[in-house]
């Protein structure tokens, strides 16, 4: 199944469709193509039809991949997954070392080996690499698609600047393993990735993508905006103030807030929630990867 989002990124998938079908056909694949028609269409297609296929090949950005994986997680068969990144940031592709060149990515699927990968669940939803709340998390889904199509990654940066004045603090109770943390936070991310929002990098030697654990990053509130700037600069240099930033690993985490908090999954808006239970479903998806 070749499923592609014609509206993702700079619309590369649409423009290269014939060449992709030709390449897979030359390598003895019998392809059925599904261009997504609307948001979340990929979830339905995959959930209903995946069991008739040996492999799903997803062409799109992080949002489309999230939909394909959500569909796969809701059906019983073990179907392989290949990913050809054609979105704006393609964070997960960076973590998985998948080429941004669509022919190289397609060839890597054809010549690939199976790699089991951890998926996350947040209440009844799934995410492939990030669940986040707070500062900057609105940026990917409030940036207009036309703007993303035209200027790509820079559009997220420009949109981010607009949100700098809207940073809110949340009082949270965080329960995981045998620890309980209660404090005020401006940002939190629960990730299975070395790349966050296209610019923040975690050390790739420390992040294992199928160990059953997430990396958790929490930034405490501060009354001084300069503090927040210093924290973000420290994170960019991977040298942060440990009193202001909490970093740990866990497979299960419960976060409770007094007010509704907007959550973002894989860069898409996931609605507002007072309580979330986040669980690592280890080795639940099989990617075909060359490296
Ligand atoms: N035919 C369509 N028309 C409009 N939107 C669509 C269509 N098909 C899919 N979508 C939606 O397009 C949105 C953006 O897709 P996607 O996230 O894959 O690309 P992106 O935002 O450019 O890249 P990234 O998430 O990597 O930054 C998704 O929310 C998806 O549901």
Catalytic residues: 268
Rounded-to-integer distance, Cα 135 and Cα 225, Å: 12
State the pLDDT at residue 69: 98
Residues 159 and 192 in one domain: yes
State the pLDDT at residue 102: 92
Rounded-to-integer distance, Cα 117 and Cα 58, Å: 16
Rounded-to-integer distance, Cα 75 and Cα 169, Å: 38
Rg (CA), the chain: 19
Least confident of 18-27, 43-52, 123-132, 260-269: 260-269
142 pocket-lining for ligand 1 (C-beta < 6 Å): no
Residues 141 and 261 in one domain: yes
Residues 32 and 78 in one domain: yes
Residues 142 and 248 in one domain: yes
State the pLDDT at residue 142: 58
Backbone angles phi, psi at 145, to 5 degrees: -60, -35
193 pocket-lining for ligand 1 (C-beta < 6 Å): no
- Does ipTM exceed 0.90? yes
Confidence category of residue 267, pLDDT binned at 50, 70, 90: confident
Tell me if 217 sits within 8 A of 245, measured CB to CB.
yes
Tell me if 112 sits within 8 A of 82, measured CB to CB.
yes
State the pLDDT at residue 94: 86
Ligand 1 centre to CA of 55 (Å) is: 21
Residues 97 and 208 in one domain: no
Tell me: pLDDT of 158 over 60: no
Mean pLDDT of the chain: 86
Ligand 1 centre to CA of 64 (Å) is: 6
Q: Is 212 left (phi over 0), alpha (psi -120 to 50) or beta?
A: left
Helices (H), 132-177: 139-142, 145-151, 154-162
Q: Which atom of ligand 1 is nearest to the CA of 87?
A: 23
Ligand 1 centre to CA of 61 (Å) is: 7
CATH number at residue 58: 3.40.50.10330
Q: Which atom of ligand 1 is nearest to the CA of 141?
A: 21
């Amino acid at each position: 199944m070749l499923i592609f989002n014609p509206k993702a990124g700079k619309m590369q998938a649409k423009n290269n469709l014939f060449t992709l079908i030709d390449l897979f056909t030359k390598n003895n694949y019998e392809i059925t193509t599904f261009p997504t028609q609307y948001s979340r269409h990929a979830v339905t297609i995959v959930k209903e039809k995946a069991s008739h296929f040996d492999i799903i090949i997803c062409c799109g950005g992080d949002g489309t991949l999230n939909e394909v994986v959500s569909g796969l997680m809701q059906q019983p068969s073990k179907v392989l997954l290949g990913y050809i990144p054609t979105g704006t940031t393609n964070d997960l592709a960076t973590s998985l070392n998948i080429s941004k060149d669509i022919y190289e990515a397609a060839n890597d699927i054809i010549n690939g080996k199976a790699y089991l990968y951890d998926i996350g669940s947040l209440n009844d939803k799934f995410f492939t690499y990030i669940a986040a709340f707070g500062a900057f998390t609105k940026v990917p889904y409030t940036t207009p698609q036309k703007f993303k199509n035209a200027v790509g990654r820079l559009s997220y940066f420009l949109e981010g600047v607009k949100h700098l004045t809207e940073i809110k603090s949340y009082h949270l109770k965080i329960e995981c393993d045998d620890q309980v943390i209660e404090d005020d936070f401006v940002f939190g991310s629960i990730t299975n990735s070395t790349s966050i929002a296209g610019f923040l990098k975690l050390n790739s030697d420390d992040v294992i993508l199928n160990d059953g654990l997430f990396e958790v990053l929490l930034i405490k509130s501060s009354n001084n905006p300069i503090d927040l700037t210093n924290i973000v600069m420290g994170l960019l240099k991977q040298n942060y103030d440990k009193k202001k930033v909490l970093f740990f690993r866990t497979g299960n985490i419960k976060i409770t807030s007094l007010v509704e908090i907007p959550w973002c999954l894989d860069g898409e808006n996931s609605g507002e929630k007072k309580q979330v239970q986040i669980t690592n479903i280890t080795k639940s998806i099989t990617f075909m990867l060359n490296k």
